[in-house]
């Protein structure tokens, strides 16, 4: 396998790789570039020997996706009530030759912003794609709570005590039809899904309005 020298101007190391680009990628993957909540671009000089001028290769480093609540994977949505913009394309705004569009996770309320006309400040290159994450705010958290409450209020299903002996998260998910996205409530505020329902005398699961209101008021 060929060996390449790689250097970003800070330190030089020798790397075995099939191609110069793969060598640059290994160089970046093995480096410590500090924490960042947005995309960065690392330029790496790659060459094979002293007589080789080599080439500069730019590697994209996206920020790590923050964890969602309770180990769930993010489900990115574009609610007009939170993001604004055009109703047919919420959260999307023109930017240079591209767009910036924002999404919100329906489980935790965090934001993901994607810019399709980003610029590498090191060399001025434009037309790149960058990603940025932002923490939830009052608007996105209210959106998540609204979805959670709607999910709980829509629950009225048959409950078989022999199959589902307790109202655990797992049991509740199993006995709910797919159209009831009750995982929203379980992920963000488990109390709503566990305390906000009851089994009536006919074996139906129904929401308990008073408990739902009480729980939401304490959040």
Q: Considering only residues 191 and 5, tell me which one the structure prediction assigns the higher pLDDT.
A: 5
Asked if 112 and 154 sit in the same domain, the reply is no
Q: What is the pLDDT of residues 118-169, one digit of tens each?
A: 998 888 889 999 999 999 999 998 888 887 766 655 544 444 445 444 444 4
- Using pLDDT thresholds of 50, 70 and 90, give the confidence band for residue 174: very low
pLDDT of residue 152: 58
Task: Identify the domain containing residue 99 by its residue range.
Answer: 69-136
Question: Of 136, 156, 183, which residue constitutes the final position of a domain?
Answer: 136
Asked if 178 and 211 sit in the same domain, the reply is yes
pTM of the prediction?
A: 0.65
* Of 197, 19, 32, residue with least CA distance to 211: 197
Q: What is the DSSP string of 59-118?
A: EEEPPPPPP-GGGPPP-EE--HHHH-EETTEETEEEETTEEEEEEEETTT--EEEEEEEE
Asked if 49 and 74 sit in the same domain, the reply is no
Asked if 73 and 57 sit in the same domain, the reply is no
Asked if 33 and 97 sit in the same domain, the reply is no
Please count the structural domains in the chain: 3
Query: With pLDDT > 90 as the criterion, what percentage of the chain qualifies?
Result: 44
Q: What stretch of H or E contains 4?
A: strand 3-7
Asked if 148 and 132 sit in the same domain, the reply is no
Highest mean pLDDT among 50-64, 104-118, 177-191: 104-118
Asked if 154 and 193 sit in the same domain, the reply is yes
Question: Of 110, 136, 162, which residue constitutes the final position of a domain?
Answer: 136
């Amino acid at each position: 396998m060929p060996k390449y020298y790689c250097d970003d101007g800070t330190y030089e190391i020798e790397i075995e790789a099939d191609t110069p680009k793969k060598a640059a990628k290994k160089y970046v993957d093995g480096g410590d570039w500090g924490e960042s909540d947005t995309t960065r671009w690392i330029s790496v000089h790659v060459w094979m020997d002293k007589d080789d001028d080599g080439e500069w290769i730019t590697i994209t480093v996206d920020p790590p996706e923050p964890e969602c609540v309770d180990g769930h994977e993010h489900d990115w949505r574009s609610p007009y009530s939170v993001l604004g913009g055009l109703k047919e394309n919420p959260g999307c705004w023109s930017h240079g030759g591209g767009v910036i569009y924002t999404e919100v996770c329906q489980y935790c309320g965090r934001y993901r912003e994607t810019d399709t006309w980003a610029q590498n400040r090191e060399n001025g290159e434009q037309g790149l794609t960058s990603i940025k994450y932002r923490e939830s705010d009052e608007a996105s958290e209210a959106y998540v709570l609204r979805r959670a409450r709607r999910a709980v209020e829509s629950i009225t299903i048959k409950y078989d005590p022999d199959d589902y002996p307790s109202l655990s998260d797992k049991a509740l998910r199993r006995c709910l039809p797919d159209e009831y996205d009750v995982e929203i409530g379980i992920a963000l505020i488990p109390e709503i899904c566990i305390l906000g329902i009851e089994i009536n005398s006919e074996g139906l699961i129904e929401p308990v309005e008073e408990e739902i209101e009480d729980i939401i008021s304490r959040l």
